[in-house]
Amino acid sequence: MIRNPDLQGISASKFVMFRCLVTMGHADGILCDREKEYLRGLLDANRLSRVQKQTIENDFADPVPLRLLLPLITDPLYRGQLVYFAQLMAYKDGHLHPTEAELIEKLRTYLLDEGQLNDLKAIAGDLTARDMRAHDTAAGDGVTGERPGGNIDPRVQGWFAFFFDLLSVIRFFM
């Protein structure tokens, strides 16, 4: 089967998360150059389809309201990441505008209800248990003496980094 890379792209939830970030950049009425650079860097690091790229370009000129986009982010991972990236996005122009602060609070409340926070905690617990098993396996062989960090799946390391960044953002708002 031949696949057309122009028609494939990132998942729907991740794509909508990026669209929300574009809208967030417009929250203070101005999408400044630093915000555009940040967004373009995020987008360039992902394999968006041609249609997804065009949609984002349209959003740069005419952003879609968050109330229409948020329900489309169904993956808990991207719901959590949106809060994190929105926080970073809000400070890209050098200050936190009151409208941006209000939107971030709404995002946090809407996207990270207690059930979703518990889901994230459960994921972190699962990843911790997996890391501990990797540590026990590495420490138990007595041959290499290699630290367990060398055996940890990069996705696990990414989850830890994401989870602790997310916790710091949540603590910031509490």
Identify residue 30 by its one-letter amino acid code. I
Q: What pLDDT is attached to residue 2?
A: 43
How many CA atoms within 13 Å lie on the side-chain side of 150?
7
Q: Whose CA is closest to 24, among 78, 118, 109, 88?
A: 88
* 70 is a domain residue: yes
98-118 average pLDDT score: 77
Domain that holds residue 28: 12-112
Residues 88 and 130 in one domain: no
CA 80, 82, 83: angle at the middle one, nearest 5? 70
* pLDDT, greater one: 14 or 143: 14
pLDDT above 70 coverage of the chain, percent: 63
* pLDDT, greater one: 58 or 113: 58
Residues 59 and 145 in one domain: no
Residues 106 and 133 in one domain: no
* pLDDT, greater one: 142 or 85: 85
Round to whole Å and give the CA distance between 154 and 117: 23
Residues 77 and 64 in one domain: yes
Residues 166 and 101 in one domain: no
Neighbours of 129 (CB within 10 A): 10
Q: What pLDDT is attached to residue 19?
A: 96
Contacts for 131 with CB less than 8 Å, ≥ 6 apart? 148, 152, 156, 160
SS3 138: helix
End-to-end CA distance of the chain, in Å? 51
* 7 is a domain residue: no
* 77 is a domain residue: yes
Identify residue 48 by its one-letter amino acid code. L
* 79 is a domain residue: yes
Q: What pLDDT is attached to residue 65?
A: 93
Q: What pLDDT is attached to residue 133?
A: 72
Residue 164 has pLDDT above 70, yes or no: no
* Confidence label for 142 from pLDDT (cuts 50, 70 and 90): very low
Domain end: 112, 129, 146, which one?
112
Residues 16 and 101 in one domain: yes
SS3 6: coil
* Confidence label for 141 from pLDDT (cuts 50, 70 and 90): very low
Domain end: 91, 112, 133, which one?
112
Domain end: 112, 128, 145, which one?
112
